Chains A and B, each alone.
Chain A
Amino acid sequence: MRGQAFAIALVIVSGVSTFVTFISTMNSLNLTKNKFYWDYGFAEVFASLKRAPENLKYRISEIPGVDQVETRVVADVKLDIKGFPEPVTAKLVSVPDTGKPLLNRLYIRKGRQVDPWKDNEVVVSEGFAEAHGFSPGDKFGAVINGRWKTLVIVGIALSPEFVLQVRPGAISVDFKRYGILWMGRTALATAYNMKGAFNDLVLTLSSDTKLNDVLVQLDNLIDQYGGLGSYSRKDQISNRYLTEEFRQLERSAEIFPTIFIGVAAFLLNVAISRTVSTQREQIAALKAFGYSNMDIGIHYVKLVILIVLIGVAGGLALGAWLGSGLGRIYMEFYRFPYLIYELQPSVAIAAALISILSALLGTLHSVRKAAMLPPAEAMRPEPPAHYRKTVIERLGLGRMLSQPTRIIIRNIERKPVNALLSVTGISLACAIMITGGFFKDAVDFLVDVQFKLSQREDMTVTFIEPTSRKVVYEMKGLRGVEHAEVFRSVPVRLRFEHRSYRTSVQGIEPSNRLHFLLDTKLKPIDLPPSGIVLTDYLSGILGVTPGDMLTVEVLEGSRPVRQVPVVGLVKQYIGLTGYMDLSALNRLMREGNAVSGVYLTTDSLYQHEIYKSLVEMPRVAGTVVRKDEIRSFYETQAEALLFFTLVATILAGTIAFGVVYNSARIALSERSRELASLRVLGYTRAEISYIFLGELGLLTFAAIPLGFLIGRALCAYIARALESDLFRIPVVIEPGTYSLAAAVVLVSACLSGLIVRHKLDHLDLVAVLKTKE
């Protein structure tokens, strides 16, 4: 029983450790987040606008329920960093001249706050500083409102507003190419002609305030100043991502431990019923001596609890270790000043209780059977097992089977429930392994679709303000530019019935060669000359179908509100967008040939030269290079993906090993007599190994395709559970992931088979002939 107990404890270790890892990481991040948000005054409402006089602030603070208001000047800037020739952009955020922001206060990791009167001092975000190896005192160039300026880093900081520092529209954090800079309000306002004015505001609410009322009133106030619509923490990008991450951890904490604990309960059930049947005579003797049913029951319950507790102890230790490791991985993405890692006693107690209860539930039947056995009956050996011809044989295929094969399939058919549960257990191992590889496959596919099928440009150049279409000629004039296509991007609020969503509408040229729209089957489609095409997920949020009239409220310029028919749906995995024909969008805006940016394909030889020219163009707000974006995406994801794959492999291996080992040990104890008899009759070790391991092999092979199916279903469930307007994960599983899953299961199964086979070689042939079954 020792080996089996160990194997079962190992599965429990996996279950408890995944539970503890996910829950404790989630709790720790949550605790850290809440503390950081609280200590550093994270705002509750956010709004951007074009330009408003500073005294609007007082009217805003009079909105019932508003507590503190802070106005800011925020701008997007291009940076020029020595030794880093790729385009870098940053968000420049003002810090009040008093030195300390009221809200979204900075945690200064190194150096100091900016001197509000100095127009060349900045504090930079930690991730960005680390990526470039910056320390206070270092300098870099920036194009601020069209003017080149050298900035000096005086401090390195973190902010609750930028825990996740992601460029709007980007697929992931990119510390090298996107940073946050904080500068004195006066200096920044001067540079952007915002003296006595602001273009961004944050506020907090007093308790028991109706958030929506505040948002509505705030929007009413800022509307005439080019307000882009206020939003709460729920929609604040950094906070959004954090919330999504918690959701993911929570789901993982539900799915994986459930599988492990379920498998452990099954294994315990099988192991205990076998132990009970081999200990029938001892049970009978004890009962004959006067032990009660209760005493016998308690004995087995103790055995179960002992095994579970060993597993729980190991699981807690491993879970705490993995949890702090996972926490550190998250800290790479999510910039908190510190991580409060804590394994709460309630989590440990919950893990222990869940494990013990499931284990007892799983073993209830066999323990009851042991306890209720009348002593006289227990004294007698168990009646011989009844066998019958299997389905295969009744179908007339029996002639094709050798006797050893017959033994294998009859044994499986005699205990179909056990066989089914073993198959299920092994298939779950396979499924877990698939979920481990699934993320990478999905991400690869997503990147392929997004960047190879749909967006084929090498660079995207955006302008500070809508510009004449003629700019395309200027771009084509740059050495190394092979092709240029313009686009228009307009911030909008889309409304249908009572539902609305803030996003942007992209106007693209119908004849474009760089930006393809894909239908739900990922086939390129032509953009209709009028009407709007929506991302399919967005149509779900708004509840529209093609043919419906959508209200488009433009949040720019003269802010027209128009009715536009929905004419199609497109597939897109990241973000939600509406698409229109460029000239249709221009007509809707009642503007001429305005464009917001240009897509370029370039000769890679001239890339650096092109960046340099673009940095120097005053109207260019920023440049994104597709290749860099993909690379940085993989760089940031790599470690996390590796961690998940590794953990999944270990866990899947554990389950496969546990289930197969347990089945093997039980098969050995049930069949050693039979196998020894065959050895005596002249069967070789290899031949009896076939009978013995063949059954396990058959179960394992049956489990693999089932595991593929369960794995796929599990991935679909995870993808479904995690989908949001930020991103949707396609359910794509590569053959390589299936193969790896099958391989891990097979190797684990072989390993446990071999360990048990070793015992086969030492069967005592003489003893078995002298004993009754």
Chain B
Amino acid sequence: MAQKEQSAIAEDVVFKVSKLTKVYEIGEVKVHALRGIDLELYSGELIVLLGPSGSGKSTLLNILGGLDTATDGYVTYRGKDLTMATEQELTEYRRFHVGFVFQFYNLIPSLTALENVAIVTEIAIKPMRPEDALTIVGLSDRLGHFPAQLSGGEQQRVAIARAIAKNPEVLLCDEPTGSLDSATGVVVLEALERVNRELGTATVIITHNVDIAGMADRVVHLSNGLISEITRNVVKKPPRELHW
């Protein structure tokens, strides 16, 4: 049974990361952010990348999201090699396949919640209605509000709505609760969990907060540019049960 499930998932590999290395040159100092990482990410899966700052988790996420290039090794998305993609192909990849959620939300201050979502659906192929995306994150009553009129948690949920509205294959979240208090963070995580569950979007969440790992299918522990451990949660905790 377990084996059958494993192979079914194996057929549905979203990302395949192999011997991924990233070296930054800062002045004359070389910083090895990733030292040869192997990892596969499956469709519909929720993964938490856990590690202290400087462990390489953001670098990995940026390469997965087509924002950064690898020094060595490769990453494929649905069989296509991202490390060989041109700037234009990467833009297209981000445009149609990836949803991003950032620590500082990165909303456009001059656009309302609805418009912040619409700015993405306008350029997507088969998007959902911006209103629906905002309803999923529980903000159907805040459509006309500008970022300056929303709380941090609400802003982050607008960011999630913006990320999912294009119906992306993967959702990449970089410290989505990093700027939020625990109660608000839970609301945001619930939104992510719901998207993952209901839409089946493969989700990667970066955090240095161990408690959040409880909601993941798999937890990838990074340290010093290497994967130190991959654990699987037999029972996923619902976000509302998480505390920090």
Contacts and interface: CB of A to CB of B under 8 A. Distances in A.
A384 B106 CA distance: 12
Contacts of A680: 65, 67, 94, 100, 106
Interface in B73-116: 88, 91-96, 98, 100, 102-104, 106-112, 115
Interface string A664-698: 00000000011001111111110100000000000
Interface stretch (B42-50, B119-127, B180-188, B224-232): B119-127
A387 B162 contact: no
B104 A773 contact: yes
A416 interface: no
A404 interface: yes
Contacts of A773: 104
A769 B91 contact: no
Contacts of A98: none
B146 A387 contact: yes
Contact of B95 (A411, A681, A766): A681
Nearest to B100: A680
A96 B9 CA distance: 119
Contacts of A411: 110
B148 A385 contact: yes
B62 interface: yes
Contact of A682 (B58, B95, B110, B146): B95
Interface string A360-398: 000000000000000000000001111111000000000
A677 B159 CA distance: 11
A385 B109 contact: yes
Contacts of B148: 383-387
B239 interface: no
A769 B174 contact: yes
B94 A384 contact: no
A280 interface: no
Interface residues of B, number: 35
B147 interface: yes
A771 interface: yes
Contacts of A403: 108, 111, 115, 118-119, 122
B94 A681 contact: yes
B68 interface: yes
A411 B146 CA distance: 13
Contacts of B110: 385, 387, 406-407, 410-411, 414
Nearest to B130: A403
Nearest to B162: A681
Given A403-B118, A680-B100, A387 B109 contact: yes
A680 B102 CA distance: 11
A682 B104 contact: no
Nearest to A383: B148
B interface majority secondary structure: mixed
A153 B2 CA distance: 121
Of the candidates A679, A766, A768, the one having the most CB atoms from chain B within 10 angstroms of its own CB is A766
A677 B162 CA distance: 12
Contacts of A674: 106, 108-109
A402 interface: yes
A217 B178 CA distance: 100
A86 to B, nearest CB: 69
A403 B110 CA distance: 10
Nearest to B108: A674
Contacts of A387: 109-111, 146, 148
Contact of A683 (B100, B106, B123): B123
A772 interface: yes
A416 B98 CA distance: 37
Contact of A386 (B96, B120, B146): B146
B61 to A, nearest CB: 10
A384 B100 CA distance: 22
Given A681-B94, A682-B92, A682-B95, A765 B67 contact: yes
Contacts of B100: 680-681
B108 A388 contact: no
Of the candidates A385, A403, A770, the one having the most CB atoms from chain B within 10 angstroms of its own CB is A403
Interface residues of A, number: 35
A112 to B, nearest CB: 81
Nearest to A411: B110
A411 B108 CA distance: 11
B95 A402 contact: no
Contact of B67 (A407, A678, A687, A766): A766
Contacts of A389: 112
Contacts of B106: 673-674, 677, 680, 768-769
Contacts of A772: 104
B7 to A, nearest CB: 33
B150 to A, nearest CB: 10
Nearest to B99: A681
A674 B102 CA distance: 13
Contacts of B119: 403-404, 678, 681
A771 B104 CA distance: 7
Contacts of B102: 677, 769
B111 A407 contact: yes
A672 to B, nearest CB: 12
A678 B108 contact: yes
Given A386-B148, A404-B119, A682-B94, A766 B68 contact: yes
Contacts of B62: 766
B182 to A, nearest CB: 20
A446 B17 CA distance: 79
Contacts of B107: 677
Nearest to B149: A386
A407 B118 CA distance: 12
Interface string A518-540: 00000000000000000000000
B123 A682 contact: yes
B205 to A, nearest CB: 15
B109 A683 contact: no
Interface in A636-677: 673-674, 677
A386 B122 CA distance: 24
B35 to A, nearest CB: 19
A773 B152 CA distance: 14
Contacts of A770: 58, 103
A734 to B, nearest CB: 42
Nearest to B98: A682
A406 B146 CA distance: 13
Interface string A397-423: 000001110110011001000000000
Contacts of B94: 680-682
B117 to A, nearest CB: 9
Nearest to A761: B87
Of the candidates B103, B110, B120, B174, the one having the most CB atoms from chain A within 10 angstroms of its own CB is B110
Interface string A151-183: 000000000000000000000000000000000
Contacts of B118: 403
Contacts of A677: 102, 106-108
A404 B122 CA distance: 10
Contacts of B58: 770
A406 B67 contact: no
Contacts of A679: 91
A470 B130 CA distance: 96
B32 to A, nearest CB: 17
Of the candidates A384, A679, A681, the one having the most CB atoms from chain B within 10 angstroms of its own CB is A681
A325 B68 CA distance: 57
Interface string A752-769: 000000000000011011
Nearest to B116: A403
A770 B118 CA distance: 24
Nearest to B94: A682
A22 to B, nearest CB: 44
Of all A-B residue pairs in the complex, the 3 with the closest CB atoms, nearest first, are A682-B95, A403-B119, A677-B106
10 contacts: A385-B109, A387-B148, A674-B109, A677-B102, A680-B100, A681-B100, A766-B62, A768-B106, A769-B67, A769-B104
Given A388-B146, A407-B111, A680-B94, 12 more contacts: A385-B110, A387-B111, A406-B115, A673-B106, A677-B108, A678-B119, A681-B95, A681-B120, A682-B120, A683-B95, A769-B102, A769-B106
